[in-house]
């Protein structure tokens, strides 16, 4: 008669050890969220900053939000910008990770060092360099295009919304690709070589091995990285704000992040800004929902 292994005795110690961190996160994340929700139901402007009690207006901010045509244009603009940037970042990051897997050690270390330096640069310093590259009078990009036979002398990249968002996309993608490349490359190093070799022996070509063996093996990592990219690209602020200050048209280039900032800090409409922030949170949940469901299926 075989003996069954004794079941491990449950203890409350692990939960007690985690409890302080959970409480700290609850206060650090929960209070700002609750305060934001309450603020979205109030009329809170400059007078309230100087001591006047806020006026409870209920759903008035949300009714104004729903009927604001400009907000919906900003939301659509933010959505397109987010999806385009996330897609381009993922394609370039995964492609670079796949290339690093086949590089020699010396070249791979050099590429990884360059990526690490690009990733570690402060955002403001990075934006200063990119502003100089796309500068109207002294920009390297205009100089190269002009000497290549194109009429780009004195061209302003930030004046028109389309070229403004092209520059913003270049900057955002350039700053995001190293994270994707490093993360995906780390996942690729864990793919069993015997699976790839078995597929090659069975006659699978490079593209078939990539699609049917390599990518399914790192699907969980790709989902997490894609989820983070969607969240980060939807709430992008610094790059857009700095480019607007450098000469971009604020009205035609606002995204949700800069629109909330200009409503609150710039216009003193903190209640309305809080309502737009809640709208942005709901939009983020809707966008990331499919990723979360796919991750849960992956866990199962």
Which residue, chain included where needed, has tokens 């091995």?
209
The structure's pTM equals 0.84
For the domain covering 56-299, report its CATH number.
1.10.3720.10
Cα 289 to the chain's mean position, in Å?
A: 15
Compute the distance between CA of residue 121 and CA of residue 96 in angstroms, rounded to an integer.
Answer: 20
Cα–Cα distance, 239 to 257 (Å, whole number): 11
Contact 65, 272 (CB under 8 A): yes
Q: Structure tokens of 8?
A: 């491990």
Q: What residues have CB less than 8 Å from 280, skipping those under 6 apart?
A: 234, 235, 256, 257, 260
Question: What pLDDT shows up at residue 4?
Answer: 58
Domain boundaries, the chain: 56-299
Q: Which residues contact 51 (CB under 8 A, 6 or more apart)?
A: none
Distance CA 126, CA 170 (A): 12
What is the per-residue pLDDT for 1?
Answer: 47
Beta-carbon contacts of residue 61 (< 8 Å; ≥ 6 apart)? 40, 41, 43, 271, 272, 274, 275
pLDDT for residue 255: 93
How many angstroms separate the Cα of 193 from the Cα of each of 163, 241, 252? 44, 46, 51
Residues in the chain: 300
Instruction: Supply the angle between the helices 105-120 and 161-188 in degrees, to the nearest 10.
Output: 130
Residue ranges of E strands in 149-286: none
How far is Cα 253 from Cα 251, in angstroms, rounded to an integer? 6
Q: Could you list the pLDDT tens digit for every one of the 300 residues in the chain?
A: 455 555 666 777 888 888 888 888 888 888 888 888 888 888 887 777 777 788 888 888 899 888 889 999 999 999 999 999 999 999 999 999 999 988 888 898 999 899 888 888 888 888 888 988 988 888 888 888 888 888 788 888 888 889 999 999 999 999 999 999 999 999 988 888 877 778 777 777 778 887 888 888 888 889 889 989 999 999 899 999 999 988 778 888 999 999 999 988 888 888 889 999 999 989 888 888 887 787 777 666
With CA atoms as reference, report the closest residue to 77 among 269, 236, 293.
236
Report pLDDT for 299. Answer: 67
Structure confidence at residue 147 (pLDDT): 85
What are the beta bridge partners of residue 56?
42
Contact 139, 133 (CB under 8 A): yes
């Amino acid at each position: 008669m075989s003996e069954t292994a004794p079941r491990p005795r449950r203890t409350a110690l692990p939960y007690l050890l985690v409890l302080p961190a959970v409480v700290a996160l609850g206060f650090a994340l929960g209070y700002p969220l609750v305060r934001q929700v309450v603020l979205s139901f109030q009329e809170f402007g400059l007078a309230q900053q100087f001591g006047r009690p806020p006026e409870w207006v209920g759903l008035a901010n949300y009714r104004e939000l729903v009927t604001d045509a400009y907000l919906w244009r900003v939301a659509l603009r933010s959505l397109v910008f987010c999806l385009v940037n996330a897609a381009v970042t993922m394609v370039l990051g995964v492609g670079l990770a796949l290339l690093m897997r086949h590089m020699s050690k010396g070249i791979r270390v050099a590429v990884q060092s360059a990526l690490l330096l690009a990733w570690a640069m402060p955002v403001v310093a990075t934006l200063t360099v990119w502003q100089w590259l796309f500068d109207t009078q002294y920009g390297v990009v205009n100089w190269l295009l002009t000497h290549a036979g194109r009429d780009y002398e004195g061209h302003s990249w930030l004046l028109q919304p389309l070229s403004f968002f092209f520059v913003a996309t270049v900057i955002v993608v350039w700053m995001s690709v190293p994270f994707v490349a490093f993360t995906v490359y780390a996942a690729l190093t864990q793919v069993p070589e015997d699976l790839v070799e078995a597929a090659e022996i069975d006659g699978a070509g490079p593209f078939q091995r990539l699609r049917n063996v390599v990518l399914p093996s790192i699907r969980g990592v790709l989902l997490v990285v894609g989820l983070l990219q969607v969240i980060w690209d939807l709430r992008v602020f610094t790059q857009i704000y700095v480019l607007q200050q450098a000469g971009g048209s604020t009205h035609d280039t606002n995204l949700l992040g800069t629109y909330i900032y200009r409503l609150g800090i710039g216009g003193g409409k903190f209640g309305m800004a809080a309502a737009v922030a809640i709208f942005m949170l709901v939009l983020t949940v809707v966008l990331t929902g499919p990723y979360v469901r796919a991750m849960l299926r992956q866990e199962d």
